[in-house]
Copies of this chain bind each other. A is one copy, B any other.
Amino acid sequence: MENIKDYVEENKERFINELIELLKIPSVSADSAYAHDVISTAEAVKFSLEKAGCDFVELCETPGYPIVYAEKIIDKNLPTVLVYGHYDVQPADPIDLWTSPPFEPVIKTTDIHPEGAIFARGACDDKGQMYMHVKAFEYMIATNTLPCNVKFMIEGEEEVGSKSLSWFVERNHEKLANDVILISDTGMISNTQPSITTGLRGLSYVEVEVTGPNRDLHSGLYGGAVANPINILTKMIASLHDENNHITIPGFYDKVEELSDAERAEMAKAPFSLENYKKALDIDDVYGEKDYVTNERNSIRPTLDVNGIWGGYTGEGAKTVIASKAYAKISMRLVPNQDWEEITALFKKHFESIAPKSVKVVVKPHHGGQGYVTPIDSVGYRAANKAYTETFGVPAIPVRSGGSIPIVALFEKELKSKTILMGFGLDSDAIHSPNEHFGVFNYLKGIETIPLFYKYFTEMNK
């Protein structure tokens, strides 16, 4: 059988060019202006799976964007791996901060990526990491080395809450039946130190609207006499954290699991340089919850961040106006055991309760998802770790991620199977930011590592 290293070496130009073509389609699920491009991307993914050798591929209609489903069943008695990924991407704005257009992929070298990185929205999250699985599958088919059954489920609404995916999964238990779910939509510590994400934070995302007077007012004639919705909104948001940066919403921490000193000591072993962290972000100091360190604040602790705020005159020059309305988008990252719907309700109740009588407040829940923790002694985890160890030369470290993949908890509930998060991205890849990129090394290393997971997972199941 041909060696995967050689196969990647021979085909890497094509692998990169195929990904670049996929990245050119602006599949922004949050903005309906891109609806047509999101669909085109789904069709492109479907085509790539057919070409790679799946014997059944379809675009499954949903209440929202279609889900690409594909499968290759070689023997009902062999284990089945379900690969999940998403073909939609985050909005690209602020556009003007991109050094090259977000949907015109280019390869540039960086300090961390001397072999070059592909710069484009979605390069890492998640088109690049999802496409590694398509190419790894292509290899196993081409060399007749696929050791088990495989199913692909690639969705188009991950960046907006995966509503349609839940709808789809609930209705297709049989079709999606599997022994393990494999996802590459997370990161690893560095290109010399692989890691496997064992915990994810949940999410509650809301939008708030504060209304003062029924029309914009002249700030001279009315200033000081009526509630300014922007001033009120800032007061309300500011009050959501106390002086220790604890969140003040009653009941918010009730179900938060407190880690033991031993567990915290274990976490503290992961390589981390506060100086490099601050330098990379160009900040003089970090900022967060009292009594916790940076690596705890962004992984095992819940948070509340304003993701967007707007109101009044934001154009050029000056306008002396008191706006009628002010708005904010606010998201809370949750830890395992915090129920996102319960937290959303607590936020709504509290936020409405702190509004002064002089304004009207509306809280609109956007979407959310549960947190998740996976054991490190499962067959899937051990197979993944063995694969990483072989391609990187060192075993992977288990880490808790601060991010959310809302559907991981859903999979466990609906499909009763564990998810393995084999991420190949880096924190510095700027996902959700201008100049998102994915290292060529990481992309090819992923393609090289994934078939080994199939191999060991199948062997360990014998």
Contacts and interface: CB of A to CB of B under 8 A. Distances in A.
Interface of A: 29-32, 90-91, 93-94, 97, 159-161, 187, 201, 203, 205, 207, 212-228, 230-235, 237-239, 241, 281-289, 294-295, 297-298, 301-303, 305-324, 326-329, 331, 333, 356-359, 366-367, 401-404, 427, 430-435
B434 A215 contact: yes
Given A216-B432, A221-B427, A315-B31, A322 B310 contact: no
A90 B321 CA distance: 10
B319 A432 contact: yes
Contact of A306 (B225, B297, B302, B312): B312
B239 A238 contact: yes
A328 B230 CA distance: 10
Given A97-B215, A223-B402, A329-B318, A308 B282 contact: no
Contact of A307 (B212, B224, B308, B321): B321
Pairs A-B, 9 closest by C-beta atoms: A220-B403, A30-B317, A224-B303, A308-B312, A227-B287, A238-B238, A214-B282, A287-B358, A225-B298
16 contacts: A30-B319, A31-B317, A90-B321, A94-B216, A97-B324, A215-B430, A222-B402, A225-B298, A227-B283, A232-B287, A234-B235, A307-B318, A308-B319, A314-B329, A317-B366, A319-B329
Contacts of A287: 225-227, 232, 356, 358
A430 B308 CA distance: 29
